[in-house]
Amino acid sequence: MRLLTHNMLSSNIKGVANGFPLLIEVEKVIEKQVDFNPDFLKNIFPKIEWQALVQASRSMGYSELPEESPESSMLDSDDFLMKFHHVLLELHLEEGALVCPETGRKFPVNKGIPNMLLHEDEV
């Protein structure tokens, strides 16, 4: 699972009011190169919750994203775009867990696939 998807995923347990962002417990992170596409990055940028992305990237061992939500003028900077690209699309949580910020319930991630299936009493 990449951080693009992490940024779109919330805890889906019944009764949880604020299930976003899910905390990340890392066992294994892998990197896979993806073609750099500035248009995609500019399109998706306004939809990204910046703090969640920064927090997630730090859990994954990457600390070069600016803490503060960047001005949209930053999208003209190739240096910034490359970092944003790397964090969003090239870092994969291969093994680990996603943790509901409200209940602490862990959703396991195996072979890069988060298991968001709920138990009967959580639906």
**Sites of contact with other proteins (CB under 8 A):** 1-2, 4-5, 7-12, 19-20, 32, 34-35, 37, 39-40, 43-44, 47, 49, 89, 111-118
Do residues 25 and 97 touch, judged by C-beta distance below 8 A? yes
**Minimum CB distance to other proteins smaller for 101 or for 112:** 112
Nearer to other proteins, 63 or 120 (CB): 120
State the minimum distance, in angstroms, from the CB of residue 112 to other proteins: 7
* Contact between residue 2 and residue 91 where contact means Cβ atoms under 8 Å apart: yes
- Smallest distance from other proteins to CB 70, Å: 19
Minimum CB distance to other proteins, residue 34 (Å): 8
Q: Which is nearer to other proteins, 10 or 59 (CB)?
A: 10
The residues that bridge with 106 in the sheet, in sequence order, are 99
* DSSP state, residue 2: B
Backbone φ, ψ for residue 57 (5° rounding):
-65, -35
Give, as one character, the DSSP assignment of residue 3.
H
Distance of CA 28 to the CA centre of its chain: 15
